[in-house]
Amino acid sequence: MGPTASGKTALAIDLCQHFDTEVISVDSALVYKGMDIGTAKPDAQERALAPHRLIDIVDPAQSYSMADFRRDALAHIEQLHNQGKVPLLVGGTMMYFKGLLEGLSPLPEADADIRAALEAEAKEHGWPALHQQLQQVDPQAAAKINANDSQRINRALEVYRISGKSMTELQQTKAQSLGFPVHQFAIAPSDRRVLHQRIEKRFQIMLEQGFENEVLSLYNRKDLHPDLPSIRCVGYRQMWDYIAGEIDYDEMVFRGVAATRQLAKRQLTWLRGWQNLTWLESGDQENLQRIVSSLS
């Protein structure tokens, strides 16, 4: 694990070479096809050295949930185990790691008919009235949700009407956690300034590699928009706004770098509270040996 631009891919390649295994990507941006430069997706040469799974698997118009990731990751873990290989999970999407390791709450899938019925009720009586309904069936959830938060009220009532159980009750029942011994490592520079420099340098390299043209291709499809998870990815939203004429080039660069720094900050916050984690220093030539030694 590690923040963006910390050197995860380079270390992963070394590990794959040493252990003769493959990478299972734990990254919510690498799943999208046609989004290569802005996600720093491993190139063909890197993938030849370290085969990567769970990249390029969905179109940017589609969504890919944590539940989707857990299902797919577990299938690939089993495949690699059956080949006698130790799966190597690499990425910076901490919610994916958490969901994989701890399991997910068994919440039901969305039901379009029930959602439409709730929308109709809200149109007639207002969302505060539906919030009062929620207070009757799930007071704990209602206490955390604003009386006008239509999206969360709708989902909480939808869950109750589908399952007959409150969202609070279902969330307290986790799916089975990962049933394997797991060795967890995080890589990052100990000096935050070094990470900021790496982020800025990588953003400039992305621009030189043709990041603008990559996002322009997505923009010209006309079926994508800024509210999609794919276009909300760090860097893509800022470049999209530039192409749309909403900001100038310098502002795009500034916002893109700033957004990437904020992402790294959130990732590090997650990692600082992570249990059973061994820290590695970005760029340290002894990282591979440290991991190998810790596993023996």
The binding site for substrate comprises: 4-9
Q: Tokens standing for 293?
A: 């030694």
Q: CA-based angle 193:236:254, to the nearest 5?
A: 40
Q: Tokens standing for 12?
A: 């992963």
* Among 235, 252, 251, 270, residue whose Cα is nearest residue 29: 235
Q: Which residues contact 178 (CB under 8 A, 6 or more apart)?
A: 74, 100, 101, 102, 103
Positions at the binding site for ATP: 2-9
Q: CA-based angle 256:260:264, to the nearest 5?
A: 170
The one-letter amino acid code at 25 reads S
161, 133 Cβ separation under 8 angstroms: no
C-alpha to C-alpha distance for 217 and 25, rounded to whole angstroms = 25
Positions at the binding site: 2-9
The 8-class DSSP code of residue 58 comes to B
